[in-house]
Structure 1
Amino acid sequence: MINPFDAEVIARRYVRGRLYYHSQALRIALRQLRIDRVGVAVDIACGTGLSTRAVLDVADRVVACDASAAMVHAAERHPRAQFITATAEQIPVRDAAADLATVAAAFHWFDQPKVLSELARVLRPGGGLVVYSDYFDGHLLHRPEFADWFRSEYTSRYPSVRRGPHFDPEAATTAGFGPTTRADQQWHVPLTSEAMAAYLVSQSNMVAATDDHVDPHRAMTAEIAPFFPENTPATAVFTLRVCTTHLRVPPDRS
């Protein structure tokens, strides 16, 4: 699939608009995996580094990679993180080097059987895999008119681009992973009209539909301003979806 985020102007939209839900999603994941802390983690499709920030809370060292050089360039550096421009199909890590692999808001862009095979290569037996994302359907608490606009105007004007499933458990099993655990949890976050507009214009559907040289943030802020009278924040309701699995340990043949 075409990467809609490989441009500096889009990376700037991403930095401004994406929300930091990653630590909350990762806490859910580590409870499912029964992991407290790891030595080496790989953060795949790290984008501008929000996901890496969360992984650094639970890992001694993180190798973070993204196929977009513009995204990697925009990521905030950290002494325990190494940022590399690389695809999920060719992770620059030796075999069985990682205890944990994480993928935030990106697995639907991948050739999942190929990437799962590569993740099985870089993880040690028993290592954990976390695939998670945030979803927004236009629900603002106590402001149903925004949801009406979101369904009738926003999604029709900016339809979703083609993508795969959130996670394919059957492909994971074929690659050598065990059973998949999935959790969906609501996440409430107060947003102003400017913050909501920044989030919307950072999404792949708007990125694909707008000119790389035009920043639609101001126009989107003006369009949704009536739903935020006097720019009062509204509580947006997101769904956090978290899937986890372990790489199976080979049977002892001794």
Structure 2
Amino acid sequence: MTESRARSFGAAAAAYARHRPGYPDAAVLWALEPVSDRPYPQLLDLAAGTGKLTGSLLPHGSVTAVEPDPAMLAELRRHFPAITAAEGTAEEIPLPDNSVDAVLVGQAWHWFDPDRALPEIARVLRPGGVLAALWNGDDARVDWVRGYHEAGRWDATVVRAPDEIPELPAHPLFTTPSVYAEFGNPVRTTVDGLAATLRTHSWALTADPADREAAIDRLRAYLAERPETSAGTFELPLVTDVVRALRK
């Protein structure tokens, strides 16, 4: 199931590009802080998807994108035709040794095999370079946000627990422990917009269509009763989690 979910996004590449949130500038700046003094750093967006993180990296250096799904990669190239983009995985990165100053992973670290990915990422990183993983997720400290996940009853954990602190696995080629920061990333949306975003999540892409739409119907019924969301446009309280470590 994990493999099928990891490879499910290509069928919804255009919708993913349209509906998934981007990343706040403050989160990107924090991720890149250890290499901010390097002149025009070489940045790798690994498992880049449709380029939701790629665009945020462009002001900060020369960006290369690597993505395993051909449909997602085609969507990225459509949005960012000028950058270097290649098909590849975290476990087999199509770049030379010591070629980048930072490897950034948006919304994808949980799909990697860390035993293979960490030494491969270390291979392409220069000494002192950054590995940073970023995730956008709903803020589970907010009552109605927890409620809509409970109402939907989809078979996935798409929001971390409020007391959970993300971290990267320990590896001898990287500094340990990894360090963590959280950034607010609220988005304005509607019930239709939230439903469209949820349909780009792996649980929805791999679910039986009837089960998926039943979950969306439960979501709609719940949000119709909540004062925070029943009036039309509302603010969805997202947070961006960032964890980073340095190449020794």
- If the TM-score is normalised by the length of the shorter chain, which range does it land in? 0.7 to 0.9
- The Cα offsets for residues 91-113 of structure 1, whole Å up to 9 and x where unpaired, read as 11000011111101100111112
**Structure 1 gaps, min length 5:** 249-254
Q: Which residue of 2 aligns with 1:252?
A: none
2:157 equivalent to 1:160? yes
Look up the match of 1:12: 14
1:150 corresponding residue in structure 2: 149
Amino acid paired to 1:160? T
Distance 1:15 1:240 in 2: 18
- Contact 2:133 2:243 survives alignment (8 Å): yes
Partners in 1 of 2:50 and 2:69 — Cα distance? 10
Tell me the CA shift for residue 215 of structure 1: 8.7
The structure richer in strand per residue is: 1
Deviation track 1:68-116 (CA, whole Å, cap 9, x = no partner) reads 1111011134355111121111111000011111101100111112111
Instruction: Provide closer, same or farther for how the CA distance between residues 189 and 198 of structure 1 changes in structure 2, counting only shifts above 3 A.
Output: same
Deviations 1:43-76 (A, max 9, x none): 10000011111111111x2220111111101113
Distance in 2 (alpha carbons) for counterparts of 1:52 and 1:145: 31
What amino acid does structure 2 have at the position aligned with 1:209? A
For 1:9 and 1:70, the matched residues in 2 are separated by 7
TM-score (norm 2): 0.80
RMSD: 3.0
Change (3 A) 1:159 1:131: closer
Identity level (%) = 25
Q: Give the TM-score normalised by structure 1.
A: 0.79
Alignment length (residue pairs)? 233
Contact 2:154/2:215 (<8 A) preserved: no
Matches of 1:146 and 1:77 in 2, distance apart? 31
| In structure 1, distance between residues paired with 2:41 and 2:167 | 25
Instruction: Map 1:149-228 onto structure 2 (within 5 A).
Output: 149-151=148-150, 153-154=151-152, 156-160=153-157, 167-171=167-171, 174=172, 176-179=173-176, 180-211=178-209, 223=221, 226=224, 227=226, 228=229
CA contact (8 A) 1:201 1:217 kept: no
Question: Which residue in 2 is equivalent to 1:57?
Answer: 59
Structure 2: gaps of 5 or more residues: 159-164
